[in-house]
């Protein structure tokens, strides 16, 4: 695992020692809820402006009753062509996708859409900060996997290799995110640390 | 009006002299379609990655027929709390809202949601590039109105002043965008020019 070593991390580690008891990982939130909680916190504190994009919907029929709100009566879910979350932090464009698995030994790539990965590549080439948040739900472990570190594993799959990333590969190529009290998934410090390491 | 004066503009002006005949302004596209056309062009050319966000929907009922796609049978439109478009260009976070009016003498502020303006302020404070694209549909004129130049007019309204921005105020405080052949609304050069002028 690539251990954090900056100023930010020390702060995290201290926090972790104090609060990362199993109880905190168990408020029963989904990964999406955990991220939305962090985003609301960032918005309130003016730390960042990051939102989940609405689910894309193909609207087929809308009913307009007099004197009341338009009602959509037929619509279908569309496959997303971009990532779930984006926004801005400190002048940097942030773009990421959240995925969870119940698997304990590897992260399957099957539920990642090729269109999403293409989108992430495009944003990375425009110098955005692009990553996945992977959650191993059964293990209660979370990782920020930056696109440039993720891409070789995706390419390996496209070239006929394994269709997942083993837990130890995840540990060695991404940043583990420790659960805190509030927000549970305080992921901005990891981005800051990543940017600092990149600059060196 | 703040006339463009950089390298980029000369290119635009040449183009404009050659092609900005009234016919080009009349392919009958809505402002949203014109922006989407530009965004597709930017995506294909790898110039920028800018998408329209899906319309936010409150889903109430979904029907899951066996062997076919889930069908949403009851849903409602939600008021957007952010802007319509965002993305990245050359490392910069881009965030904007598109509005059109049939009015010929001023741009009404009534159909701009306070939540959207608050969102724009937040993004501007994180050093995003934030603006409106205003279309005077009847006049076939388009303006990029950057948030920092727009904000005083919004404040004027909040303080009891006029609920619109006059055409000449728009001309004097924003950047006029000339229609080209394809994409009709090639707005990136205006952003580049704005950034160059800001640096000076």
Give the model confidence (pLDDT) of A126-163 as tens digits. 999 999 999 999 999 999 999 999 999 999 999 999 99
CA distances from A163 to A104, A108, A130, B32 (A): 15, 6, 21, 39
Retrieve residue B15's tokens: 């183009």
* Inter-residue contact B55 to B85 (CB < 8 Å): no
From B99's Cα to the closest Cα of chain A, the distance in A is 20
Ordered domains of chain B (ranges, CATH)? 31-52+81-199 (3.40.1350.10)
Per-residue pLDDT tens digits for B48-82: 999 999 989 999 999 998 878 899 999 999 988 89
ipTM: 0.84
pLDDT band at A117 (very low <50, low <70, confident <90, very high): very high
Three-state SS at A134: strand
Three-state SS at A131: strand
Per-residue pLDDT tens digits for B158-170: 999 999 999 999 9
Whose tokens are 């701009």? That residue is B112
Instruction: Provide, as residue numbers in chain B, all residues whose Cβ is less than 8 Å from the Cβ of A72.
Output: 57, 72, 74-77
- Say if the Cβ atoms of A123 and B88 lie within 8 Å: yes
Whose tokens are 């004097």? That residue is B172
CA torsion angle A33 A36 A38 A43 (round to 10): -160
Whose tokens are 């916190």? That residue is A41
**Burial classification of residue A58, based on how many CB atoms lie within 10 Å of its CB (0-12 exposed, 13-18 middle, 19 or more buried):** exposed
Model confidence at B145: pLDDT above 70: yes
**pLDDT for residue B42:** 98
A53 touches chain B (CB under 8 A): yes
Per-residue pLDDT tens digits for B67-76: 788 999 999 9
From B169's Cα to the closest Cα of chain A, the distance in A is 29
* Inter-residue contact B87 to B130 (CB < 8 Å): no
**pLDDT for residue A1:** 42
B72 touches chain A (CB under 8 A): yes
Q: How far apart are CA B146 and CA B97, in angstroms?
A: 10
B122 touches chain A (CB under 8 A): yes
- In our burial notation (b when 16+ CB lie closer than 10 A, e otherwise), range A131-150 reads bbbbbbeeeebbbbbbbebb
Rounded to two decimals, the pTM is 0.85
Whose tokens are 């302020």? That residue is B121
Nearest CA in chain A to B74: A73
């Amino acid at each position: 695992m690539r251990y954090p070593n900056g100023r930010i991390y020390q702060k995290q580690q201290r926090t972790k020692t104090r609060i990362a008891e199993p109880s905190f990982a168990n408020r029963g939130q989904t990964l999406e809820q955990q991220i939305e909680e962090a985003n609301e916190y960032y918005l309130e504190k003016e730390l960042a402006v990051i939102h989940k994009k609405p689910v894309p919907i193909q609207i087929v029929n809308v009913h307009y009753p007099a004197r009341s709100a338009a009602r959509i009566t037929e619509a279908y879910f569309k496959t997303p062509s971009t990532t779930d979350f984006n926004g801005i932090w400190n002048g940097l464009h942030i773009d990421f996708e959240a995925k969870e698995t119940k698997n304990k030994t590897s992260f399957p790539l099957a539920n990642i859409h090729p269109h999403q990965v293409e989108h992430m590549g495009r944003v990375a080439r425009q110098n955005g900060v692009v990553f996945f948040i992977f959650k191993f739900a059964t293990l209660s472990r979370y990782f920020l996997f930056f696109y440039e570190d993720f891409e070789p594993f995706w390419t390996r799959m496209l070239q006929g290799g394994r269709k997942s990333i083993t837990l130890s590969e995840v540990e060695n190529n991404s940043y583990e995110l420790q659960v805190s009290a509030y927000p549970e998934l305080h992921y901005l410090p990891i981005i800051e640390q990543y940017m600092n390491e990149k600059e060196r």
